[in-house]
Structure 1
Amino acid sequence: MRSAFVTTLALFGAVKAAVQGFDVSHWQSSVNFAAAYSSGARFVIIKATESNNYIDPKFSTYYTAATNAGFIRGGYHFAHPGETTGAVQANYFIAHGGGWSGDGITLPGMLDLESSSSSQCWGLSTTAMVAWIKAFSDRYHTVTGRYPMLYTNPSWWIACTGNSNAFVNTNPLVLARYASAPGTIPGGWPYQTIWQNSDSYTYGGDSDIFNGAMANLVKLATG
């Protein structure tokens, strides 16, 4: 039986459309969700948690505002690999807003994988990092029935996972690259599901481009 994500890959590969979205956290003191929706944006990813001891203070407010404005929305978790296990951080994320439901307006959670202020790879080997991500991903899937989206940039993925292709058939890629095109896709993914193309979006946060038509975005949310 084909996995839901493999089926989704086939759908995305056939389309050329795109849907504007954005992501936000407490670093944005105010976000104009209504204006963003009016401008054509249709999805929002909101920071929910970090490590296993931090809840973003704006998450609840922004999640409610995004819902009221009509957005497809979801949460993201800023990973601290190596501090606690992937499963522990997945549980924390799910318990504090990062879960998924098949209501058609909730995206699977996103795992934010990037450097800390002091260490690119959080002190882990490439093998240990892949194992940590897999533990998070598997736990999220066990609890919610969906695999999380993985947010990363090519240099981090190559340096910290050895350019692993272990997640190609399960986890949608959210690619961070601030440029005029997505460029080379790491990790064996044939393309990105979402492209974070700018760290400055008119109505708040970072600009995200969904790689597909609105029907495909709804499919991602529905599962």
Structure 2
Amino acid sequence: MSAARRASVRRARPSLLTLLGTLPATAALLVTGTGTAAAAPPPAGETIRPGQAWMGAGTRIEQPAAGSAAVSPMDTSGVQGIDVSHWQGAINWNSVKSAGIDFAYMKATEGTTFKDSRFGANYTGSYNAGLVRGAYHFARPNASNGATQANFFASNGGAWSRDNQTLPGVLDIEHNPSGAMCYGLSTTQMRSWVNDFHTAYKARTGRDVVVYTTASWWNSCTGGWTGMSAKAPLWIAHWGVSSPNVPSGFPTWTIWQYTATGRVAGVSGDVDRNKFNGSMSRLLALANNTA
């Protein structure tokens, strides 16, 4: 290539900022201070395609303004945790641990085919940093029956071992971010779906699955079903309030996701923050399946 031609190519080549400016919001990149790129999740109001969802993707349809509320000191006391997916990009788990975070859940699977691209790095990195960690499955009840998705989850990150650092897996079942709120299922069908997921997961792992949901979704889509109250610890999502609303089918909450706009050292941008309803010894009891 001649010198004149090379100069022409250099002049024609767009800058990185120009390229980023041409991307839609769903594909834009946020460059962190460490040079690690994390994809920006689709903006509120935009349809979340299967495979793109994260814990809280449906919750923000119900609670669109709650994330902007100030987090009170009471919320950030006690045993603190975060939940993450590929949307957070690369995470410095040692910094997360140093920031006072004791536990973390990360997305492993969704539906019947999607596996989170950051799961392996998050699962191993959080363990090596000394956090108590676990995996979650974003449910797509319109894609298959509950047992099929439970087995897919257990085979791709949702398994459990008594190693003092592994929490039981989570069934993330919330407002459908891609369509009808209850995925087109009746309350009876949804109860069966959840029960089938729980039964299959317990058969594979020996553990009761943790249920992540909102009071509004559970009461509407299962009819306030009490059938999981004696089997599944409840992870409740209720943002920006001093105490969460609990679905009528559960006596209390075990984990509370209190904000979707938290900040933690080691994580770029917003991250869900959570609180465990008990002491660190009780969190370890949940991890190790002891009384």
TM over 0.5: yes
Establish whether residue 77 from structure 1 lines up as the match of residue 168 from structure 2: no
**Higher-Rg member (1/2):** 2
Give 1:35 deviation, angstroms: 1.7
Structure 1 vs Structure 2 CA RMSD: 1.2
What runs of 5+ residues in structure 2 fail to find an aligned partner? 1-76
Establish whether residue 93 from structure 1 lines up as the match of residue 159 from structure 2: no
Give 1:53 deviation, angstroms: 0.3
Give 1:202 deviation, angstroms: 1.5
Letter in 2 for 1:60: G
Establish whether residue 147 from structure 1 lines up as the match of residue 208 from structure 2: yes
Give 1:115 deviation, angstroms: 2.1
Cα gap change, 1:73 to 1:27, in 2 (>3 Å) = same
Distance between the aligned counterparts of 1:140 and 1:190, measured in 2? 22
Mapped contact 1:90–1:139 kept (Cα < 8 A)? yes
Give 1:99 deviation, angstroms: 1.0
Mapped contact 2:236–2:244 kept (Cα < 8 A)? no
2:232 to 153, 167, 171: 171
Mapped contact 1:24–1:206 kept (Cα < 8 A)? yes
Give 1:118 deviation, angstroms: 1.1
Give 1:191 deviation, angstroms: 1.4
1:38 to 91, 94, 98: 98
SS of match in other structure, 2:136: strand
Q: Deviations over 1:86-140 (max 9, x none)?
A: 0000000000011111112110000000122211000000010010000000111
Q: Aligned pair count?
A: 207
Structure with the larger RCO, 1 or 2 (CA within 8 Å, 6+ apart): 1
- The more displaced of 181-190 and 135-144 is 181-190
Mapped contact 2:108–2:156 kept (Cα < 8 A)? yes
Q: Deviations over 1:118-176 (max 9, x none)?
A: 11000000010010000000111111111110000111111110011110111000000
Partner of 2:111: 51
Mapped contact 2:136–2:169 kept (Cα < 8 A)? yes
Mapped contact 1:98–1:109 kept (Cα < 8 A)? yes
Mapped contact 1:175–1:182 kept (Cα < 8 A)? no
2:188 to 127, 133, 136: 127
